Amino acid sequence: MASEATLASIADQLHAARDRAGLTLEQLAEATGLSKAHLSRLESGERQPSIAALLDLSAALGVQVNSLLGEDRSGSPLAVSDGNEPVHSANGLSIVVRSGFPGSSAIEALGISIDPDRSPSVPARHRGEEWLYVTAGTLELEYDGETHVLEVGQCAHFDADRPHRLAAVGAVTEVLMVAAHETKSLQSVHR
């Protein structure tokens, strides 16, 4: 489980991003498919967002996931991942943001480590596409009711609006995930 400080940081970043976008909880709920009550709990630090929720929220708010996680990347429109980025761990997943130059909003690259003892999550659904590449271990991808097993060097590309979830088979599994979403944010729609 994420620490209270981590949840508070995510809550503060989410609330600030929604304020900057000039959106109400209701408008953000409509745009993301998350309930207003769930968003309120995320903004108060009572709940921890899933990867799918972070992707939907970042797309709707026109910000990178790293921004919602409290990482400040400013400067050049070039992001270089040097392997020393902060690791965010929760619920059997460790996540490292591997993308995000200032102003970028079309794709997110995340390094994900999946513990084999992780409790099965509810299948995720979010707008956009995902591309997964297995770098270590064996990945079990449940997609739209079918199970696919991917070994090191194999990848999958899919419509993320269909139910999907990830699990590790036998040992810790490392995956590079690239998620693409619409580049048009709600900031321009609601202003």
The secondary element (H helix, E strand) that includes residue 19 is helix 4-21
Name the percent of the chain lying above pLDDT 70: 87
- At residue 53, φ and ψ (nearest 5 deg) are -65, -40
Candidates 3.90.550.10, 2.60.40.10, 3.40.50.410, 1.10.260.40; CATH matching 4-72:
1.10.260.40
Prediction pTM value: 0.68
Separation CA 38–CA 99 (nearest Å): 27
Residue 115 near residue 185, CB atoms below 8 Å: no
pLDDT per residue as tens digits for the range 33-84: 899 999 999 988 888 888 888 888 988 888 878 788 876 656 667 777 777 8
pLDDT tens digit sequence for 70-110: 766 566 677 777 778 888 887 888 998 888 776 677 788 99
Q: Where are the domains of the chain?
A: 4-72, 88-180
At the fourth CATH level, which superfamily is domain 88-180? Answer: Jelly Rolls (2.60.120.10)
pLDDT at 73: 59
DSSP string, 21-71: HT--HHHHHHHHS--HHHHHHHHHTSS---HHHHHHHHHHHT--HHHHTT-
Contact 28, 19 (CB under 8 A): no
What's the token pair of residue 84? 């020393």
